[in-house]
Amino acid sequence: MEKKILKSFRLFRFAGINISHYSAMVLLLGAAVLTASCTETDSVNSGNVTTDEIMDFVDDQVRLLVSETDAAIERNPEGRRGPRVNSRGIRADSLFLISSRDWTSGFMPGMLWYMYEYTGDDHWLGEARRYTAPIEREKTNATTHDMGFKIYCSFGNGYRLTAEPHYRDVIIEASNTLITRYNPTVGAIRSWDHNRDRWDFPVIIDNMMNLEMLFRATEMTGDSVYYDIAVQHARTTIAEHFREDNSSYHVIGFNPETGEVMQRHTHQGYAHESAWARGQAWGLYGFVMSYRFTGLPEFLEQAEKIAEFILDHPRLPEDLVPYWDFDAPDIPDVARDASAASITASALYELSTMVNDKSAYYKQMADDMLASLYNNFRSPDGGNLGFVLGHSTGHHPHGYEIDTPLIYSDYYFIEAALRKERLESR
C-alpha cells in the first residue's frame, strides 16, 4: 500500500499538481472504486501490463543486483583492464564484473538513474551517483567509439535529472574525445581499433547509438561541430549499411584514404548477408533518436523502413522477441535475444510520437513487446543475481553470452517502461 501511495504522489507531482497527503489518499481511494472492476480483466491482456507492475519487480531486482555487485567487487576489485566498476552479465553462474573500459560500463549507472527518475527516492540518487563516478575516467579514452554507451547512459542521464555542471563538463569532454575518431573522407566515426588485419576503418551499426551524446553536446555548447559530424555519420550509415530489404550489415570496412567501401560484414550475426537481430534494433533506435534531434525527414523515413523490416518479418516470433539472428539456421530451435526486443520496444515508443498515421500501431507493438518481455522473459523473483531479464544473446558466433542476462537488455527494458508511462500520462 505504501508503494501505491508514493506512486500516486509521483504522478501528481509529474503533472504539476500540489496535493496534500490527505487529498491524495481520498483521490486514490476514489480511483480504486472506479478501476477495481477492470483490474483483473486488464491483467489477462498481456498488452496492458503497466509500468507500475513492471517497476515493482524491477525495484526488487535492481536492489539485489546492486547488493550482489558490491559484494562481488569487494571480493575481487581488480581486473585485467583496471578496477572493476559494475556488472555486465552472468557467466559460469557468477556475476561477470567489468572495468570502466568495457563498452557496457555505462548501463548499470544508467539503470540507477532511471530508478531515481521513476521513484524520486534519494536512495537511488545516491546509488546512481556512486556507480556513475568511476566511469568518468573514460571521458578521455580515445581508443573507442563507445563514448555514448559509457558516458551518455551514465553522466548523460545524471545531467538530465540533476543539471549538475560537472556532469555537463564530462559529457562535453567525452564528445571532444569521440570526434577525434571522425574521418571526413569516410564521413563517419571509426568504430573498432582491433582486427586491423580484417578492416582498415570499420564502422558498425551500433555506432549510431553514440550520436546522441554529440547532438546533446551541440545543445550544451552551441558549437555545431558535434551536430554536423553526427548528421554526416548517420547519412553515411544510410548510404552504406543497408540492403534493399532495409536490413543492415553489422560492419562496413572503409578505405580511410579514399572513403571506398572495402567490406560489408556481419561480425556478430550468423553470416555476412544475414540480419543480426540486435543490429537491426540499434539501427532503429539510432535513426529514431537522430530524427528527434534534427527533424530531418530522411532519418524518420529510415527508421520506419527498419521498423517495417523487423515487425513484418516472417521469422519474428509471435511473442515479438526475436531470434538472435533473423536468418539463423534451425529456427525456431535457436537462442532468442531479449536485448533486441528491449531496444526495439523503447525505440517504437518514441517513434509512435513522431508519426500520425501509424502512431497507434507503433505504440501497440511496443506495448505488446514490453509485456511479452515482462511475462515470458523476466528473471524469477530474486533470481539471476538481480538482473531483470534473462534470455539475451551477446556474441553467438564466438560462443559466449548466449541465452543469459545482459545489462543493456535491462537498461533498455526499463527505459521502455518509463517511456510507456510518459506517453500514457500525457
Over residues 149-175, the pLDDT tens digits come to 999 999 999 999 999 999 999 999 999
Angle subtended by helix axes 407-424 and 51-75, to nearest 10: 150
Is this model's pTM higher than 0.75 or not?
A: yes
Please tell me whether residue 392 adopts helix, strand or coil conformation.
strand
Share above pLDDT 70 across residues of the chain, in percent, rounded to a whole number: 89
Q: How many CA atoms lie within 13 A of 100 on its CB side?
A: 16
For 179-224, where are the alpha helices, taking DSSP H only? 211-221
What does the mean pLDDT of the chain come to?
91
pLDDT in tens, 57-86: 999 999 999 999 999 999 999 999 999 999
User: Is domain 51-424 classified as CATH 1.50.10.10?
Assistant: yes
pLDDT tens-digit readout, 46-56: 558 999 999 99
Nearest Cα residue to 384 out of 57, 51, 64, 52: 64
Q: What is the torsional sign of CA 133, 138, 139, 145?
A: negative
The CA-to-CA distance between both ends of the chain, in Å, stands at 25
The angle formed by the CA atoms of residues 288, 233 and 347, to the nearest 5 degrees, is 15
**Residues 393/322, Cβ–Cβ less than 8 Å:** no
Sign of CA dihedral 129, 134, 137, 141: negative
The answer to whether residue 30 scores a pLDDT higher than 60 is no
Q: Are 346 and 332 in contact (CB under 8 A)?
A: no
Among 26-35, 103-112, 155-164, 218-227, the range scoring the smallest mean pLDDT is: 26-35
pLDDT-based confidence at 183, cuts 50/70/90? very high
The whole-number average pLDDT for the span 291-306 is 98
Quote the CA–CA distance of 315 and 229 in Å, as a whole number. 36
Per-domain residue ranges for the chain? 1-44, 51-424
Please state, for a pLDDT cut of 90, what percent of the chain lies above it: 87
Catalytic site includes residue 146: yes
Catalytic residue among 102, 206, 367, 368: 206
Secondary structure (3-state) at 108: helix
Could you say which of 59, 122, 146, 330 is catalytic? 146
Burial of 291 (0-12, 13-18, 19+ CB in 10 A): buried
Active site residue 200: no
pLDDT value for 31? 40
